Structure 1
């Protein structure tokens, strides 16, 4: 009988590494030799080619029966996997903090795919996860961080004990005020209540149908896609959108309707092994294939939850906790991001105003910042989770910001003004777990006020003025009502709360000077 240990280790090794282990072994030996010979010389990552090719080859693209992200239809997703593999995944997360992939079979809208990879997804989202009634060390809840206290950064911006920002379940601000002030009527949608912190549903390892997942179609079958997607995310309920995550679905829909970059989404029934079926929101994950939809040739970088956006010198390895390169690995590198960070942090006010357009697509950035305010997103690029991507256009040599993770949108006060902060923390609260120098300098500069105000006014008309957001909410709620596993009472309650806030925000902003042009 084959030993479990080799098999276990084998499944932890990515498919590509298993295929090319001999070549990798030779490379590793060469690097060791270099380390011995040149031990006193700092070795920086090298770009192997000026090419902008991705290098990924799609061998199979499964067509399926229905467009996975047709948000007008109810979908079905079923996952099956071995419990022993699941327990191994939990062991790795509990003991090492690693989110490993396990092998599973999936059926999407009647189309079966064997041997996909699934792993837990999220940072603070998983801090509240319990197993046999106990939290992982460093998490929130029983057996974890006592009293749900927030983790604090040390001098290097690291959160000791395993705690990470990004939603901060179970720990609202002192005094219970919602970000930006208490919402009219005493409540903001999605479970945020004055006096209470975040209404996050408890996550239990024994209930995998409720957990946040990343599904990767080519983890165990090299080169496979599903309708052009390598990965999809199964979003978790309860962070900012109640049990239905309606706030995120509405945000993604209105952004797309306003011609802003947004991921596609859909609601689906979700069944894991023989567990009860639930209704879940699935979202297009910003991976290599998503980058192809951004147009032109560029490099996509993901901001990590521990990102500081501060100058840490010229060594790319010192930014490993700040950004992760998603596309064009081997042909491009992190240097453009480092250059941007260093310039933003060092430029004088005059230089910032004069030369920002050489580094950043100012019009696109104004749209991004305005949209986050309009949608009351408490965890954008300046929030504790640093939820954004950077897109670097290789032709214009300029950056654009791509939004991601809107489960804390529509969280805060409906009376928040166009120039008020919506981000939690913002460098001032939540232990300083917030803020972004680029966004702060942009909003503080009078040189870009007109550009921002114009973007804000235009997006307000597209999102609120014509009742677009309300109509979109009604349409999404109707579709969600047809999804197997949906809780009708919770959907009705979440929709009513979100509707009230949208109405209040629409009416309040209608008289604002930025909107009226006064």
Structure 2
């Protein structure tokens, strides 16, 4: 089966706005309703990945890195929450790169990490050009080695394929045999980082990409950019937080009437409704209003509008129900290797901001769970809440009733069964594929 990311056409979404208005599906013939035009996402159709992002092939990544440097990096993270870069030699599909940047990547996925943790199991960001300018593979420089609570990461792999089919910007993902310092390889899902190359592939306009930090929030903190250091990180473009600060000011300080009248000129509301619908349909509890604030905001320099970009789907399809340690798998209630003995295996993720469960690194703060000002105010507007429900109905048909999800699960399961049998046994692949199917059945029932 060929996977293509559905194009998000750069057209104007017509929405019914105003107090008590009722939303209608895109393409409705009812033109008598009061409507307004809004900004739209300038995204393009992205073909199947090739080369290092060919998802039909099991890839190989082996890392050689100084054990003492890894230990020092983990110790620093445990004490301060800082994720330092270290140098490594990395071989990807037979091509070796020297002086590659390597650092920890993640937040909740690093909860409970201890000194002496197996680096093969940890989540990483590998950056080929961190120390060597121009160093790249197939034009790509950044590779995110994801963690997952299952052995196959099928839940995230499938979710990313569905995200693309839903017409939303996502990431290429590949199954990988990952090893460190000659140790036993493990099956790991590797995905694109949201960087300049990713942005160029997905959008036709210049823009700025902002990442919402796990320990932060979406509050307005005034006009000083330094006030936002801990809550947003700019990923692309020249340093400029002005559009973001203006947007946060609007989200937090506009009246209800101003919000309803003006949001569509500041945000692609149709794409955001589709995003919210999608996250519900894949059962992802760790999205924009989850404990990790997992999302990006992209500012379109031509239209002056924002779009929300999805990120982090390792808890899709019931992934929260299995508590694995960093990078590892474990059934619910088991204590994965490396988790502190005083840290509960069923620890909730929606703890109040600023509080940490016992065993969490000192520098790792708890983000807010189940709250986001954009989500809350958006869904309070009847027209947009209706638009989310319409998107759910549309996506249920196109992703599930159509058979697309079943075909996607089959494709990933066949890949792992035929090419990764030395990393995961066939029974485990079948069991976890069935778990995704069961989760889908419960989500759409």
**What is the TM-score normalised by the length of structure 1?**
0.65
Deviations along 1:40-69, whole A, 9 cap, x unmatched?
xxxxxxxxxxxxxxxxxxxxxxxxxx7111
Of 437, 440, 444, the residue aligned with 1:502 is 440
Instruction: Please tell me the root mean square deviation across aligned C-alpha atoms, in Å.
Output: 2.4
Match of 2:274, SS state, is helix
Establish whether residue 294 from structure 1 lines up as the match of residue 202 from structure 2.
yes
Q: Which residue pairs with 2:361 in the alignment?
A: none
Establish whether residue 257 from structure 1 lines up as the match of residue 165 from structure 2.
yes
Say which structure is richer in helix. Answer: 1
Q: Which residue pairs with 1:365 in the alignment?
A: 272
Is the 1:382–1:426 Cα contact (8 Å) retained in structure 2?
no
Match of 2:270, SS state, is helix
Is the 1:424–1:434 Cα contact (8 Å) retained in structure 2?
no
Is the 1:80–1:106 Cα contact (8 Å) retained in structure 2?
yes
Is the 1:470–1:502 Cα contact (8 Å) retained in structure 2?
no
**Alpha-carbon distance between aligned partners in 2 of 1:216 and 1:110, rounded to the nearest angstrom:** 17
CA offset at residue 453 of structure 1?
2.8
**Alpha-carbon distance between aligned partners in 2 of 1:432 and 1:95, rounded to the nearest angstrom:** 22
- Say if 1:208 and 1:487 are closer, same or farther in 2 by CA, change over 3 A: farther
**Alpha-carbon distance between aligned partners in 2 of 1:431 and 1:384, rounded to the nearest angstrom:** 5
**Alpha-carbon distance between aligned partners in 2 of 1:411 and 1:426, rounded to the nearest angstrom:** 20
Of 144, 148, 164, the residue aligned with 1:233 is 144
Deviations along 1:366-394, whole A, 9 cap, x unmatched?
11111111111101110010000000001
**Alpha-carbon distance between aligned partners in 2 of 1:478 and 1:212, rounded to the nearest angstrom:** 25
Alignment of 1:293-442 (within 5 A): 293-295=201-203, 296-330=205-239, 333-411=240-318, 425=350, 432-442=368-378
Match of 1:131, SS state, is coil
CA offset at residue 275 of structure 1?
0.7
Deviations along 1:311-359, whole A, 9 cap, x unmatched?
22222211111111111124xx111111111111122222211111111
**Alpha-carbon distance between aligned partners in 2 of 1:283 and 1:360, rounded to the nearest angstrom:** 26
**Alpha-carbon distance between aligned partners in 2 of 1:350 and 1:460, rounded to the nearest angstrom:** 32
Is the 1:353–1:447 Cα contact (8 Å) retained in structure 2?
no
Match of 2:371, SS state, is coil
Q: Which residue pairs with 1:26 in the alignment?
A: none
**Alpha-carbon distance between aligned partners in 2 of 1:217 and 1:252, rounded to the nearest angstrom:** 24
- Say if 1:232 and 1:325 are closer, same or farther in 2 by CA, change over 3 A: same
Match of 1:279, SS state, is strand
Q: Which residue pairs with 2:381 in the alignment?
A: 445
**Alpha-carbon distance between aligned partners in 2 of 1:89 and 1:412, rounded to the nearest angstrom:** 28
Is the 2:151–2:424 Cα contact (8 Å) retained in structure 1?
no
Q: Which residue pairs with 1:457 in the alignment?
A: 393
**Alpha-carbon distance between aligned partners in 1 of 2:352 and 2:396, rounded to the nearest angstrom:** 27
CA offset at residue 213 of structure 1?
0.8
- Say if 1:350 and 1:97 are closer, same or farther in 2 by CA, change over 3 A: closer
Question: Matched residue pairs, number?
Answer: 356
Q: Which residue pairs with 2:130 in the alignment?
A: 219
Q: Which residue pairs with 1:99 in the alignment?
A: 83
CA offset at residue 262 of structure 1?
0.7
Match of 2:409, SS state, is helix
**Structure 2: 5+ residue stretches without partners:** 1-49, 321-347, 356-365
**Alpha-carbon distance between aligned partners in 2 of 1:394 and 1:222, rounded to the nearest angstrom:** 27
CA offset at residue 425 of structure 1?
4.3
Q: Which has the larger radius of gyration?
A: 1
CA offset at residue 426 of structure 1?
10
Is the 2:291–2:367 Cα contact (8 Å) retained in structure 1?
no
CA offset at residue 281 of structure 1?
0.4
Is the 1:298–1:394 Cα contact (8 Å) retained in structure 2?
yes
Match of 2:96, SS state, is strand
Match of 1:353, SS state, is helix
- Say if 1:490 and 1:412 are closer, same or farther in 2 by CA, change over 3 A: closer
Match of 2:236, SS state, is coil
**Alpha-carbon distance between aligned partners in 2 of 1:83 and 1:436, rounded to the nearest angstrom:** 40
Q: Which residue pairs with 1:490 in the alignment?
A: 428
CA offset at residue 431 of structure 1?
8.8
**Alpha-carbon distance between aligned partners in 2 of 1:388 and 1:223, rounded to the nearest angstrom:** 28
**Alpha-carbon distance between aligned partners in 2 of 1:377 and 1:98, rounded to the nearest angstrom:** 27
Which 10-residue stretch deviates more, 368-377 or 83-92?
Answer: 83-92
Q: Which residue pairs with 1:185 in the alignment?
A: none
Q: Which residue pairs with 1:271 in the alignment?
A: 179
**Alpha-carbon distance between aligned partners in 1 of 2:98 and 2:386, rounded to the nearest angstrom:** 53
Is the 1:427–1:434 Cα contact (8 Å) retained in structure 2?
no
- Say if 1:412 and 1:126 are closer, same or farther in 2 by CA, change over 3 A: closer
